[in-house]
Amino acid sequence: EAGVVQSPRYKIIEKKQPVAFWCNPISGHNTLYWYLQNLGQGPELLIRYENEEAVDDSQLPKDRFSAERLKGVDSTLKIQPAELGDSAVYLCASSPGDSGNTIYFGEGSWLTVV
């Protein structure tokens, strides 16, 4: 079974530039998550989708971050403009959607803003 696929794995950009990350969840998983992981810390939820609907985006900084999951499968997370403090790993994850089911993570997209 293919896991959660993310791209790009690594991205270096200058501050104020835009950046986008793509995620393909495990086939059949209705729930998709974007997590932010700073160095040495645990992942923090940015947004959760149930199919196409963003059901929890309370932690997403909406002034510069946006996300979409148009057909209920793949998702993109965009930052515009990027700031130095956005340097982190952006983890995509998916789960079948039932309460308490295992959440499977992708390898992450490592962002460095210079």
What is the contact surface with other proteins in residues (CB under 8 A)?
A: 3-4, 31, 40-45, 48, 56, 91, 95, 97, 99-100, 102-108
Cβ nearer to other proteins, comparing 30 with 76:
30
Closest approach, Cβ 20 to other proteins, in A, equals 20
Do 5 and 61 touch, CB atoms closer than 8 A? no
Cβ nearer to other proteins, comparing 14 with 56:
56
Separation CA 66–CA 71 (nearest Å): 16
Closest approach, Cβ 102 to other proteins, in A, equals 5
Contacts of 5 (CB under 8 A, 6+ apart): 23, 24, 106
Closest approach, Cβ 68 to other proteins, in A, equals 20
Task: Give me 94's structure tokens.
Answer: 């998916």
Residue 59: closest CA among 74, 47, 72: 47
Cβ nearer to other proteins, comparing 37 with 66:
37
Task: Give me 64's structure tokens.
Answer: 């510069």
Closest approach, Cβ 3 to other proteins, in A, equals 8
Separation CA 93–CA 69 (nearest Å): 13
Cβ nearer to other proteins, comparing 18 with 28:
28
